[in-house]
Amino acid sequence: MTYRIEQAVAVESEYPDDRWRWRVWIDASSEELDRIEMVRYELHPTFPEPVRTVRDRSSKFSLASSGWGEFLLHASIKFKTSGDDLRLAHWLRLSSRPIEGVIAPNQLRVFVSYAFSDTEAVEKVTNALRDKGARVVNAVNSSVASGETLQDKLDSLHPDVALVFVGENLSKWQAREVTELVRNDVEIIPIVSPQASVAGDSLLASREPVIADFSLSPEDTADRVLRYMPGIIGKV
């Protein structure tokens, strides 16, 4: 099981004294979330009602509040079929740089795979996707810890969908990522430039690609990708 507490924060603009809005939720796969009956959050004792219970599966058992200071937050997960609760802890970070604003807990999580030579073009596309409400992650900017495998990283990221950008050829590292994505049953959408081909790659050849010159038109590519994914947007 890979349950953990995620957070998002933003400055409470109507307050002049550095008050923050924050939200926490349980990050896990859809199947793992389905096993939860309720989550009991334990806040700093200075909060009114420092112990709060959430039963809303649709929000990933999210809790929203506000405050001035950082503290160690605890969560106790009660499962539907197990008598043993799972205890989690998370240091609530309040930064002067908000973490992507207040992120909706059911926000689409997009994993991107790309070759080093396509970095600049892919960053433009992913910035456009972020502007449209997606949360973009990959194995590089998610800081793979020492000794952590790619499989471990995908287990912790829980992507809803993966975009595999192919500017010329699929790199060896991308081939590893695609193999693990398939193993994790993550939906894969190849984003293929007009001069590239995935016909020779057994993992991607059976998947209908989005043909887009992402190096020249990142906004258009982002629009094409989102149009390609009806039913996935807003997926929990």
- Is CATH 3.20.20.10 the right assignment for the domain spanning 4-92? no
Task: Specify the pLDDT at position 138.
Answer: 67
- CA–CA separation, 210 and 205 (whole Å): 12
Confidence of residue 10 (pLDDT cuts 50, 70, 90): confident
Residue 144 burial by Cβ neighbours in a 10 Å radius (0-12, 13-18, 19+):
middle
Task: Specify the pLDDT at position 15.
Answer: 54
Asked whether residue 162 carries a pLDDT value surpassing 80, the answer given is yes
Give the DSSP letter string of 29-81: -HHHHHTEEEEEEE--TTSSS-EEEE--GGGTS-EEEEESS-EEEEEEEEESS
- Phi/psi of residue 76, each to 5°? -120, 115
What is the CA angle 203-130-185, rounded to 5? 30
- Residues 6 or more apart whose CB falls under 8 angstroms from that of 13 comprise none
Q: Across 6-10, 61-65, 112-116, 227-231, which has the greatest mean pLDDT?
A: 61-65
Using one digit for the tens of pLDDT, what is the confidence trace for 110-156? 888 888 888 888 888 888 777 766 777 765 443 344 445 667 666 66
Task: Specify the pLDDT at position 146.
Answer: 42
Chain CA centroid to CA 109, Å: 4
Task: Specify the pLDDT at position 233.
Answer: 42
| Per-residue tokens: 87 | 């205890």
- Which is it for strands 4-11 and 20-27: parallel, antiparallel or unpaired? antiparallel
Helix (H, G, I), strand (E, B) or coil at 155: helix
Consecutive H or E run containing 119? helix 119-131
Task: Specify the pLDDT at position 122.
Answer: 86
* Maximum alpha-carbon separation in the chain: 61
- Residues 6 or more apart whose CB falls under 8 angstroms from that of 149 comprise none
For 109-228, CATH number out of 3.30.465.10, 3.40.50.10140, 3.30.470.160, 2.40.50.140 equals 3.40.50.10140
- CA–CA separation, 204 and 189 (whole Å): 9
Residue ranges per domain, the chain?
4-92, 109-228
DSSP-assigned letter for residue 121: H
Q: Look up residue 223 and give its amino acid.
A: D
